[in-house]
Amino acid sequence: MLITIPNVLTREEVTEFRKMLDAADWDDGKTTAGAQSASVKNNRQLPPTGDVAQALGQRILQALTANPLFLSAALPSKILPPMFNRYESGETFGMHVDNAIRVNPLTQERLRTDLSMTVFLSDPDDYDGGVLVVEDHYGTQEVKLPAGDMVLYPSTSLHEVTPVTKGARVSSFFWLQSMVRDNAQRTILFDLDQTIQTLAGRAGADDPEVVRLTGIYHNLIRLWSET
């Protein structure tokens, strides 16, 4: 299940983020890559424990905890601190799969990566190339979103960022461990939750069918969740 979530950040927030990020000192992106991905990774990243990364990452997390679509799709249990990367002048990240386990650089806690996320901080017209290509059961999907929007997809997916040939692609990327490990189960829960919300908008939250479906939704979470 690949889902785009619009307007995680406002245009004003994106402008503020970019001012801070464009003035920051960037490191080689290979410093946080696994053994396989390091061989195909060519970009720059902010140090994840630096002041800028921590301050901006916290603001992204605050925005997501107030976003109903994100909460419905992800059912988050634990979220790694957002990181930030930059691609320019032929920089790219070839086809790879994310590490199954990652360590929180601030707490050293280990998390299972169920879902991968990218918040775009450059508009599509600001750069050429730099397309996020995700391979899943429905084929290859290409993602290049407006600044402030986010894409959420299973961390089991093979994916790449094509070479940037003009301009700069700046984004935040991070991972989460969901309360529901299985992607198929998360998809069922998401579809059910979205249907309940649509029906509640038409018939009211106290409609008997809406109440019954809400009960089924929560009972499935009890059955499938790990927390």
Q: Which is it for strands 76-79 and 44-45: parallel, antiparallel or unpaired?
A: unpaired
Alpha carbons 176 and 96: distance in angstroms, whole number? 18
Query: 169 is written with which tokens?
Result: 């692609």
Q: What are the beta bridge partners of residue 172?
A: 84, 119
Residue for token pair 């109440």: 211
159 is in an annotated binding site: yes
- 137 among annotated binding-site residues: no
Query: Does 169 count as an annotated binding residue?
Result: yes
- Residues 152 and 3: their CA atoms lie apart, in Å, by 5
- Residue 91's Cβ-count burial label (10 Å; 0-12, 13-18, 19+) is buried
How many whole angstroms separate alpha carbon 60 and alpha carbon 118?
11
Instruction: Decide if 173 contacts 83 (C-beta within 8 A).
Output: yes
Residues of the binding site: 96, 98, 159, 169
Residues of the binding site for Fe cation: 96, 98, 159
Residues of the binding site for 2-oxoglutarate: 169
